[in-house]
Chains A and B, each alone.
Chain A
Amino acid sequence: MNAALAIRDLVKSYGGVRAVDHLSLTIEAGQIYALLGPNGAGKTTTLRVVAGLLTADSGAVSIAGIDSLADPTAAKRITAWLPDEPMVYDALNAEEYLAFMAGLWQVEPKTAEQRAEQLLIQLDLYEVRRQRMGGFSRGMKQKAALAGALIHDPKLLILDEPLTGLDASAARQVKRILGERAHQGCTVVMTTHILDVAERMADRIGIIAGGRLRAEGSFDELRTQSGGAGTLEDVFLALTEEAAQ
């Protein structure tokens, strides 16, 4: 069976700086995978290459068996990308935005309408669905963007800092939705600086530093690797400091 996401020897440089350095990782379907690392570690660059927003210098990326570097359009069809800055149009209202997103991913209109309504209700945006998103708070925009990302029922959901700007209640909603999606077979790959979230939500955690994968495994496996350190924060600091040295 194909892995939901397989990255092999990925290299990406900006000018003379190597942001991703021969990175390899494999994520199975239905997993929630948290990619952790200090600022500038190469997390976002990796995810942007996977989402088809950047081309790689070398290496291979396969999404559910599709070579995303060779056939990005086919890979994008089953992928959703949600960056930390919500990609929403201020001039559109939430309902229009979801219709537009469904159109981009060519979801059948009737299905799109049903999913949009369901997502808007789930994310507490139904009452404001006809308000232009320019007037939304940061958290509301983030939720609208998540609804847009989920409208085509992606197999791979890539999220960069998905909980940034969300209040406690919205963060819980988002975490619940991500858990449900993973349960239904959707693979969730996310970066986060909130280690507590990674510890509680992720099936597997990858720690990246200097563009390389330094450690990978479940929280317990990582704890063992780092010599039995207590919390994920301890594990993270132990592994990244080790990498820095």
Chain B
Amino acid sequence: MTPGSTLWLMKHEMRLTWRFGEDKSRPVRLLLGLAVLALMSLMGVPFGLLLRGHATAPNGLSVVACLIAFGFISVMSFSVALATISASFIDRGDLDLLLSSPLPMRRVLTVRLSAVAIRSVSVWLLLFGPAILITAAMAGPRWLGGLVLLLDAGLAGTSVASWLAIGLFRLIGPRKVKTVTTLVSALSGLSMGMIGPFLGRNFGARQVSGVLPDVSPDSLLGLPAHVVYGDPLAGLVLTAFLLAVFLITTWRLAPTFARISARSEAMRRPSAGRAPLRGFGGGLFRLLLVKDYRLLLRNHALLLQILSRSLAFIPLLVINLSHAGLGARSAQIALAVTLVLGQVSGALVWAFSVAESQPDLLASAPIPPDLAQRSRLTAALMPALIFVLLAAGAVGAQNRLAGIAILVMATGAGLCSAAINVTAKASQVRRSAWGGGVRPAVVATLTDMICSGFWCGGAYLLATGSIWCALPVWLGLSTVWLWREVTRRPT
């Protein structure tokens, strides 16, 4: 491979795009990835059985189904592409280096945008590809057309994401683009996650076909269905069209990305604030609390991560509540609220810990050793507890027992999650306690999830009036105690 050639650049891009985490954890990640792929490929079995001997031409329903699938994957690809664009054009910060080399600027940026497209397509090919292969193995090779549709949807999503990113770069500048793209990416992913439960809840499986519009397979909208059904001409036409759109997009936008990246350093520089100095008065605890809130509220990336982590539970809540009978609804709500608020508390503690970038500064100050940690915990738990009170009040007005369940169990879940995250952060400093093996953050997340599960169980049982609610509470507290004992191991 000639250094500086397009392929050489692409290899470099692929290495940067796909290299994350530490080498040490690669075998674990590989095993996890294979396990997920094996699970995903099992999805192909029911499809294979369903499509075996299925009619050779698409009908009205399958046209709409394929259109929805195409739209779904396009939006999800758009979401991944937008996140990847902001990561590779803003976070990586290597464009100055690449553009200062004697390589043609258009080549550098075309390769970078192509790498974005490859990543967003690969994600869905990896996720759904095995299932499509199983389906094709069981129902016939023409169903491999599904892979072509995945590729096309990926190209469509990336093209739209590229135009949107450029528009945002021009409109609001690179610093804010990162915030907006993360939000748009999370919301588009979320909206797709909501569609299934929404349709299921409002119409039921049989009624869905009744509310969908009737689209003729011979119209242009029938093209995705023809691709899935293995029509080579349809596949060729759609792929050629979307590839052309993508190449034109890349060709047109490459110089704009170059201009913007050249300006980005200057634009990254924050403007002078005009607000007068306030808030740093009072006692030490208040001083630290104000500092904690100020650091978090000015860290858009962290705020968005909390938001994304919280939003991610919404589809789960919708599914959970849509399947609940009327009698069990209050108990389900108690369970769901406990789950969400427990996780939000943990996320807030984690975010406040991450936002504190200068622990040595506090360690060198003449303040009690645990004061900074107490202020961080208070800062994190205050908003979560306000939500607990609001939720308990709202639900308690309908069902007193469910309100009490939320008050007790969501508070317990929040406190336990906070305790786990605080000790996890402290134990990161003593990494050797883990023998260089599993990372404390991973173990903390798993422990947090297990503990959260116990509190949710407790909330459900308490809301239904069962005295067995004490058992999961005891298990939850025991988990936290066990976690603390393990993390306290001497180095």
User: Which A residues are closer than 8 A to B by beta carbons?
Assistant: 15, 51-53, 73-74, 76-77, 79-81, 83, 87-93, 95-96, 99-100, 102-106, 109, 128, 130-132, 134-135
Contacts and interface: CB of A to CB of B under 8 A. Distances in A.
B270 A131 contact: yes
Interface string B273-286: 11101001100100
B365 A130 contact: no
A96 to B, nearest CB: 6
Interface in B355-383: 355, 357-358, 360-368
A132 B270 contact: yes
Given A81-B364, A106-B366, A135-B268, 4 more contacts: A89-B357, A102-B280, A105-B365, A130-B274
Contact of B280 (A103, A105, A131, A134): A103
Contact of A87 (B268, B272, B294, B361): B361
B154 to A, nearest CB: 35
Nearest to A81: B364
A76 B364 contact: yes
Interface residues on chain B, size class: 20 to 34
B interface majority secondary structure: loop
Given A88-B358, A95-B277, A128 B294 contact: no
B364 A51 contact: yes
B106 interface: no
A102 B366 CA distance: 11
A interface majority secondary structure: mixed
A91 B272 contact: no
A77 B281 contact: no
B360 A87 contact: yes
Contact of A105 (B291, B295, B366): B366
B274 A89 contact: no
Which 10 A/B pairs are nearest by Cβ-Cβ distance? A91-B298, A76-B366, A99-B280, A103-B287, A87-B361, A104-B365, A135-B269, A81-B364, A77-B366, A135-B270
Given A51-B364, A73-B366, A81-B364, A96 B295 contact: no
B299 interface: yes
B284 A104 contact: yes
Nearest to A54: B363
Name which of B270, B271, B361, B432 has the most chain A CB atoms within 10 A of its CB: B361
Given A52-B363, A131-B272, A106 B284 contact: yes
Contacts of B294: 91-92, 96
A95 B284 CA distance: 18
18 contacts: A53-B360, A77-B366, A80-B364, A81-B364, A83-B360, A87-B361, A89-B291, A91-B294, A91-B355, A92-B298, A93-B273, A95-B277, A104-B365, A109-B281, A130-B273, A131-B272, A132-B273, A134-B270
Contact of B291 (A100, A106, A128): A100
A76 B432 CA distance: 29
B280 A87 contact: no
Contacts of B365: 76, 104-105
Nearest to B372: A104
A92 B295 contact: yes
B282 to A, nearest CB: 8
A128 B272 contact: yes
